């Protein structure tokens, strides 16, 4: 029994920190509710299987679950991705419609002088203010920086969101830290269905990547090469497939926001999505 408990505990920690696998761009698969598959002797997933990557005319997909027209997404599945009040609408093409979330802090609402905002891991917006006296307040020291109870902090080279709270002993685990949620399927169902590739604004294959850069996806224009016959365990990009390890580059690439990128390098690292970086 004790052994079992430890095993579960260890799994939680390694999965929280991503154990070096976040450089492969895996958090988007967690976000999509995909199932990881492992090759023997490799700590990182070799591929994922995902529900809802293929176009559907009748359902919306979120975290591996199909939603029918008008069906709402439970708010507690959403909060950390800063989305609220989302429901599936199939009117033109299936996709989610969400309410606009406006945190007071984004709107420039002031707080009492001397106070600071209180955050939790469960909520996107702050949940209140913490005011003096601060003598009962926990302090967390991370990478030489001190945070007060209720303050958010990020852990370098990880995809964790953390909040300082009572009982923190320097371990980046629940209930202090949690893996990020990107919520891509709520806003970019069409990009995902068209087998676009997430773009991360990093330079090296070894950089940790979390949610795609400003929600940018690289769209296929047919000039990227690849194979038209989809092989098993390959990455799908537009209409084409790329084997693990295969890559292509684009130069002076104009994205869907009209910004030009000098160079974009896309590689099949962990199927079924390509992973694009600045390169």
Ligand X SMILES: *[C@@H]1O[C@H](CO)[C@@H](O)[C@H](O)[C@H]1NC(C)=O
Residues that bind ligand X (CB under 6 A): 118, 120, 127-128, 130, 137, 149-150
Closest distance between ligand X and the C-beta of residue 199, in Å? 35
Closest distance between ligand X and the C-beta of residue 273, in Å? 36
Closest distance between ligand X and the C-beta of residue 140, in Å? 13
Reduce the DSSP state of residue 244 to 3 states and report it. coil
Which H/E stretch holds residue 235? strand 235-237
* Degrees to nearest 5, angle at CA 2 with 8 and 176: 45
For ligand X, give the closer residue by CB, 23 or 165.
165
Report the b/e string of 94-112 with b at 16+ CB within 10 A.
Answer: bbbebeeeeeeeeeeeeee
The residue at minimum Cβ distance from ligand X is 118
Do the beta carbons of residue 238 and residue 222 sit within 8 Å? yes
For ligand X, give the closer residue by CB, 153 or 217.
153
For ligand X, give the closer residue by CB, 103 or 254.
103
Q: How far is residue 81 CA from its own chain's centroid?
A: 9
What gap in Å lies between CA 195 and CA 95, rounded to an integer? 15
Closest distance between ligand X and the C-beta of residue 164, in Å? 10
Closest distance between ligand X and the C-beta of residue 271, in Å? 40
For ligand X, give the closer residue by CB, 118 or 185.
118
Do the beta carbons of residue 212 and residue 201 sit within 8 Å? no
For ligand X, give the closer residue by CB, 128 or 132.
128
Do the beta carbons of residue 193 and residue 54 sit within 8 Å? yes
């Amino acid at each position: 029994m004790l052994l079992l408990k430890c095993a579960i505990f260890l799994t939680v920690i390694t999965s929280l920190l991503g154990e070096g696998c976040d450089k492969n761009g895996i958090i988007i698969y967690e976000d999509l509710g995909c199932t990881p598959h492992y090759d023997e002797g490799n700590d990182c997933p070799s591929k994922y299987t995902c529900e809802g990557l293929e176009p559907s005319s009748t359902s919306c997909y979120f975290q591996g679950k199909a939603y029918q027209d008008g069906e709402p997404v439970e708010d507690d599945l959403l909060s950390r991705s800063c989305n609220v009040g989302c429901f599936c609408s199939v009117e033109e093409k299936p996709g989610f419609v969400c309410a606009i979330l406006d945190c007071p802090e984004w709107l420039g609402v002031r707080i009492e002088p001397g106070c600071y905002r209180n955050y939790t891991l469960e909520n996107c917006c702050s949940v209140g203010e913490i005011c003096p006296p601060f003598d009962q307040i926990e302090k967390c020291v991370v990478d030489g920086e001190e945070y007060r109870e209720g303050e958010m902090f990020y852990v370098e080279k990880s995809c964790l969101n953390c909040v300082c709270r009572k009982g923190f002993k320097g371990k980046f685990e629940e209930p202090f830290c949690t893996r990020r949620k990107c919520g891509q399927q709520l806003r970019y169902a069409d990009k995902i269905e068209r087998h676009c590739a997430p773009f991360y604004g990093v330079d090296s294959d070894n950089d940790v990547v979390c949610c795609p850069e400003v929600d940018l996806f690289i769209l296929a224009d047919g000039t990227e090469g690849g194979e038209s016959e989809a092989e098993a365990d390959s990455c799908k990009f537009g209409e084409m497939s790329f084997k693990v390890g295969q890559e292509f580059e684009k130069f002076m690439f104009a994205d869907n926001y009209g910004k030009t990128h000098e160079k974009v390098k896309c590689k099949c690292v962990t199927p079924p999505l390509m992973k694009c970086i600045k390169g």
